[in-house]
Chains A and B, each alone.
Chain A
Amino acid sequence: MSEEQNHNVSRRQFLTYTLTGVGGFMAAGIILPMARFAIDPVLQAESAGDMKAVASVDDLTDQPQRFDFSYEQEDAWNTSEVTETAWIYQEGDEIVALSPTCTHLGCTVGWEANQDHPEEFFCPCHGGRFKKDGTNIEGTPPTEPLHKYEVEVQEGTVYVGKAESQV
């Protein structure tokens, strides 16, 4: 091109720009709805989760006890009853409800599940151990304490919500 500027757009350039533009617009119009459709699960707002009744306060001791509770779970077009477990004990005024899901790779732990480790939660998969308050014992595979359920007491009944990480 010459020194004095030539602002004229050639026929070829014009066609390249308009065809790329229109083509890109059409391609985006086709791809974007499908992409948004596909990634919808990532963008769904997290449901708050109800509090579920698990146990009567009178039944609690200072030793963790196993309580199972069931609730309706909505999974897209499928509604089903699922059962979860909480290990609950009372210490003074505080009620602690721990999730049985091992923080190593997700197996299920049990209180005093291994005779050699009294007063501890034990995970059978790789020998993970936790103290009564859920703290993971140094030198065993788990890397954080057992998750703790949100707890609420109403008229002598213990309700739990979501299990959340203690760290």
Chain B
Amino acid sequence: MLQRVYEWVDERLDITPMWRDIADHEVPEHVNPAHHFSAFVYCFGGLTFFITVIQILSGMFLTMYYVPDIVNAYESVRYLQGDVAYGTIVRGMHHWGASLVIVMIFLHTLRVFFTGAYKRPRELNWVVGVLIFFVMLGLGFTGYLLPWDMKAYFATVVGLQIAESVPLVGTLSKTLLSGDPEIIGAQTLTRFFAIHVFFLPGALLGLLAAHFIMIRRQGISGPL
């Protein structure tokens, strides 16, 4: 049945080359854990992506209940965690995933570093990788404020002071982030929400696309 549907579509649109080009390629022996168990270190990039997908999915579902407003944010998080079925699990996925994705990206970076995979001709992909890392940190920083509890608030107070300590543009960038020169409040929360849910995920997807396209172009780096 599925086969017939596929053939019907393929006959008209010739979709086979499209997915072949993406999915159908050799996994070299030196990155295959079935050949050398130590090759599991090559999995960390994929695991980083896997957890990123979980973050995006669980985040989309959290926004069904979450409101970015200082009066209601805390209560809405409490409601979605305490009263909605599986709320603890869905929030837990997003909460623990946020830390795990940093662990994975760190291990992935170590592998790239110690296998020398960043060397010519792959310098640009190292640069894109570092940008992805910064975007992840940004997502962690902006997401942390959203529950609007004491821990969230004071973590953001500290984070904004770090931004303020930057020479020359410090005050400017702090105000730009918090939406007010003095207050960390209503406008800070809405800004952080917009950055967390639209701007940074958008940037992240663009960078990931660049990362993966470059890998397909250049192939995985050779054995040591």
The interface of chain A, by Cβ under 8 A from chain B, is: 30-31, 33-34, 36-38, 40, 43, 76-78
Given contacts A40-B85, A77-B72, A77-B75, 7 further A-B contacts (CB under 8 A): A37-B84, A37-B86, A37-B87, A76-B65, A76-B83, A77-B78, A77-B79
| 16 sampled A-B residue pairs with Cβ under 8 A | A33-B93, A34-B57, A34-B58, A34-B90, A36-B85, A36-B86, A37-B61, A37-B64, A37-B80, A37-B84, A37-B86, A40-B84, A43-B85, A76-B65, A76-B79, A76-B83
Let me know if B89 is at the binding interface, CB within 8 A: yes
A77-B76 contact given A34-B57, A37-B61, A38-B64, CB 8 Å threshold: yes
A76 to B80, CA, bound (A): 9
A126 → chain B closest CB, angstroms: 35
Q: Is B214 an interface residue (CB 8 A)?
A: no
User: Nearest chain-A residue to B60 (Cβ)?
Assistant: A34
**Chain A contacts of B135 at CB under 8 A?**
none
Report A-chain residues with C-beta under 8 Å of the C-beta of B80: 37
Interface residues of B (CB under 8 A from A): 54, 57-58, 61, 64-65, 72, 75-76, 78-80, 83-87, 89-90, 93
Residues of A within 8 Å of B78, CB to CB, are 77
**Chain A min CB distance to B184 (Å):** 22
Residues from chain A with Cβ under 8 Å of B79 in the complex: 76-77
Q: Which 3 A-B pairs have the closest CB atoms?
A: A77-B75, A33-B86, A77-B79
Closest A residue by C-beta to B75 = A77
Q: Which residues of A contact B72 (CB under 8 A)?
A: 77-78
Q: Give chain B residues whose Cβ lies under 8 Å from the Cβ of A30.
A: 54, 57, 93
Residues of B within 8 A of A76 (CB): 65, 76, 79, 83
Chain B binding surface SS class = helix
**Shortest CB distance A73–B (Å):** 15
A37 to B78, CA, bound (A): 14
Q: Is the CB of A33 within 8 A of B89?
A: yes
- A76 CA to B72 CA, complexed, in Å: 11
Most buried by A among B75, B85, B93: B85
A78 to B79, CA, bound (A): 10
Q: In the complex, what residue of chain B is closest to A26 when comparing beta carbons?
A: B50
Write out the residue numbers on chain B whose beta carbons fall within 8 Å of the beta carbon of A43: 85
Which residues from A are CB-within-8-Å of B93?
30, 33-34
Q: How far in angstroms is the closest Cβ of chain A from B218?
A: 27
CB-defined contacts of B89 to chain A, threshold 8 Å? 33, 37
Q: Which residues of A contact B87 (CB under 8 A)?
A: 37
A residues within 8 A CB of B57? Answer: 30-31, 34
Distance from B181 Cβ to chain A, minimum over Cβ atoms (Å): 31
